[in-house]
Amino acid sequence: MSIKRDPMRETHLVAESSRSQRQDQADTTRRIILEAALQLFSQQGYGSTSTRQIAVEAGVSEGLIFHHFETKAQLFRAIPEQRGRLPRELHDLLLAMSDRPLDEVMASLVDRFVGMLAQEMDLVRVVLSESATDSDVGNVFRDLLLGFEADLASYLIGRQEAGEMSTAVPASSAARALIGALFYFVLISRDKQHQDLVERARRHANEVLAVWLDGVRR
């Protein structure tokens, strides 16, 4: 018994395969552009880097950059969206551990923070060094911090309701204090070598966490 061919179905499958290949190619090009941009931003700063330079570094035309990103600011914003693991991991961690004890969750959070430093040092340094003087970078950093703060504060409210944490300090203030202390260390340690910075960050983060936990329980 022979199987009848279905030309319309075959045409549809070919078209779907072609669309999938084009999407894969577009995703690869986008990733190459973002990696090239981050490298240049970390070497010479956001403001001193042009889209033409990014195009040369990425091996693409400048027009192709604007096909994927309307502006340089939009391109920069896409870097933490693609590379920035910490906001996503923090959100998922706090959601999954919303009923877990404060010590356990905060220790995991600090561990993720130090891991982020090890993996995303170039991105962190660009954001911290440029955010005070460039509004595009500053807006990205502000949005990341506000999202970080909101997720952490939401978890801390749950710990207050469970009686594990003092209600004398607003959860948002407690979240802001911890985040600020962690990022302050990175800000004043920008000239340290990578491995030394990560090791020092781990010690600093654990010391900060111990003081913070003592304070929020009073």
What pLDDT digit, counting tens, does each position of 48-98 carry? 999 999 999 999 999 999 999 999 988 988 887 776 566 677 788 888 988
Q: Which of 9-23, 83-97, 116-130, 186-200 has the lowest mean pLDDT?
A: 9-23
Asked if 171 and 179 touch (Cβ cutoff 8 Å), the reply is: no
**Between residues 115 and 49, the one the model is more confident about:** 49
Asked if 75 and 69 touch (Cβ cutoff 8 Å), the reply is: yes
Q: What is the tens place of the pLDDT at every residue in 33-45?
A: 999 998 998 888 8
**pLDDT at residue 61, as a whole number:** 93
29 pLDDT above the threshold of 60: yes
Domain with residues 7-71, CATH architecture:
Orthogonal Bundle (1.10)
C-alpha distances in angstroms, 153 versus 49, 78, 108, 131, 171?
Answer: 36, 25, 16, 23, 5
Whether pTM > 0.85 for this model: the answer is: no
Q: Where are the domains of the chain?
A: 7-71, 84-216
Cα separation, 159 vs 166, in Å, equals 9
Q: What is the CATH number of domain 84-216?
A: 1.10.357.10
**Between residues 136 and 81, the one the model is more confident about:** 136
Q: For tokens 């941009």, what's the residue?
A: 37
**Between residues 17 and 37, the one the model is more confident about:** 37
Return the percentage of the chain with pLDDT > 90, whole number.
Answer: 32
Element counts in the chain: helices (H) and strands (E): 10, 0
Task: Name the average pLDDT for the chain.
Answer: 82
